[in-house]
Chains A and B, each alone.
Chain A
């Protein structure tokens, strides 16, 4: 088991290295020289130029530049935004909290709703209605869901704040918007998994022991149905990371998405690169968590 964990950590490190390298290559590929790319729309003075050359070791050989960049990234030093005149780490650290709140709330909402949907909509026509609703939700752009929710619950009924990050009430609509597509996909996968598990001999045995259908479903089949759903955690992290950029814009929430968007608009490359590397780190973390979740769900994996 220790070798298995070591292998997972190693492959996570490789993904991180690949993301950092891709970000670096992107910087090299940007039009103009590397100093121009780092400055972006910021003030362009000889003094700042020499500062950038010193920070990125641009007067040293290419290989030294690259290795030094990797070393700094590994230490959590993501460079300096010359547009904002601050270290990127501070910018991210300041904005991470609202984004994290949104992502966690959305993930919890999505997973819980998916579980409820998959377990409760077993009857034929309820199931069909639910599946159709899931198809529609999955095909709807998330910002449209957000806009519809906003116009109904905030503008028509005035139940939730229109924009900004004001306590928990401001979190409800964004979390639902981001969580609904997750619930749509997960519910379909769980339902398929439940169908398959209920066809297994152990389900027949459980029924023969006189268990009620609900108990067979929740106590025996659900665990098996969770396995393919856990594989989707990687996809889930992708949806969350990509989704927050758009959702924060719809609801006018502060956060990493807003920072990224501004950085893209202003050509503030250090921030864009840092966000990409940071997102890759979050992605690796969630995937490692998914692998550990396998061990929790399936005891057979623990023994081998």
Chain B
């Protein structure tokens, strides 16, 4: 059986993205960033309950309607951006950091360590992310921190594999041989010559990976394994709203749309950058 499975091929396909789509994605990401940085500028208190206005549909006063406690859903979505996106960003940072370290280690060491590490990456990156994260949460307990670490660990192999492949190319490059000939120390070789040249594809990968991390985070907190109510996290809001779906679709569907819009925008812009990046190299 083949363990060296390709990543889900979506991100390698050359889907041509029309310009308006790209602009729209940029606007969505801009709004998301604004909501993360300064939520109170755009929205009121996400915890302010109004018992007289419970589960009201979208209206001029409440664009996204209200939830089961009479809280404004739009206010909660805007404030939730900080929770949801910071979990995704933190998890991706962990994954990129650990992936860089392990990938460099695998690419620079000799056969046995490399073989062992690569096999582990292969097996882990093929295994369902949700299950890996669940295993970690079962050990470490539920909560935001453990959710972040769980997603970080589960997505590490993805980056580690890319870094390893890149390292194998770079370590044979003439400039590395030159540096060795000039008597550069091992640390200097790795930090000055190998690392910067390995970093190339990482930012774009991380951008697309961030979308994936946000999706998993929303999924796990939908399962009740992330931030707990009343925290306005998008996945948790969906899960709360699921109980009132028969009378108030907006309380769960609209936060879900926030997740989707963010992830699509990240994917669209990430793929666009990837295409341009690859085009420039060839």
Task: Give the B-binding residues of A (Cβ under 8 A).
Answer: 8, 11-12, 15, 18-19, 23, 26, 29-31, 37, 131-132, 135-136, 138-144, 147-148, 150-151, 155, 162, 184-185, 188-189, 192, 228, 231-232, 234-235, 237-239, 241-243, 245-246, 249-250, 260-261, 263-265, 267, 269, 272, 275-276, 279-280, 283-284, 287-288, 290-291
Contacts and interface: CB of A to CB of B under 8 A. Distances in A.
B245 A147 contact: yes
Given A241-B131, A245-B134, A279-B128, 11 more contacts: A19-B123, A31-B140, A140-B260, A144-B238, A148-B256, A151-B245, A155-B249, A184-B10, A234-B126, A243-B130, A269-B139
B13 interface: yes
B223 A246 contact: yes
Contacts of B105: none
Given A242-B129, A264-B225, A141 B6 contact: no
Nearest to B250: A151
Interface string B1-43: 1110111111001010000010000000000000000000000
A249 B223 contact: yes
Main secondary structure of the interface of A (DSSP, over half): helix
B127 interface: yes
Interface residues of B, number: 53
B53 interface: no
A185 B8 contact: yes
Contact of A238 (B126, B137, B141, B242): B126
Nearest to A252: B242
Contacts of B267: 135, 138-139
A135 B16 CA distance: 11
Given A235-B8, A272-B135, A8 B1 contact: yes
Contacts of B127: 19, 238, 279-280, 283
Contact of B13 (A19, A189, A265): A189
B170 interface: no
A184 B1 CA distance: 25
Interface in B135-164: 135, 137-142
Contact of B5 (A18, A23, A37, A231): A231
Given A143-B222, A155-B246, A283-B126, A11 B138 contact: no
A148 B267 CA distance: 22
A33 B252 CA distance: 41
Interface stretch (B65-73, B94-102, B177-185, B211-219): B211-219
B13 A188 contact: yes
Nearest to B13: A188
A192 B13 contact: yes
Interface in B170-217: 211, 215
A231 B2 contact: yes
B2, B139, B222, B252 — which one has the most chain A CB atoms within 10 A of its CB?
B139
A149 to B, nearest CB: 11
A139 B263 contact: yes
Contacts of B93: none
Nearest to B218: A141
A151 to B, nearest CB: 4
B168 interface: no
Contacts, number: 171
Contacts of A275: 131
A72 B260 CA distance: 44
18 contacts: A8-B1, A26-B139, A139-B267, A141-B219, A143-B218, A143-B235, A144-B238, A144-B256, A188-B9, A189-B13, A238-B127, A238-B128, A243-B130, A246-B130, A250-B242, A260-B131, A264-B138, A283-B128
Contacts of B140: 31
A284 B119 CA distance: 15
Contacts of B113: none
Q: Which 8 A-B pairs have the closest CB atoms?
A: A242-B130, A242-B128, A144-B256, A238-B128, A139-B264, A151-B249, A287-B1, A139-B263
Interface in B226-258: 235, 238, 241-242, 245-246, 249, 252-253, 256-257
A155 B225 CA distance: 27
Interface string B90-134: 000000000000000000000000000000100100111111001
B242 A18 contact: no
B58 interface: no
Contacts of B139: 26, 29-31, 37, 269
B222 A267 contact: no
B78 interface: no
Nearest to A12: B1
B238 A189 contact: no
A239 B140 CA distance: 24
Contacts of B5: 231-232, 234-235
A8 B15 CA distance: 34
B256 A272 contact: no
A258 B34 CA distance: 37
Contacts of B225: 264
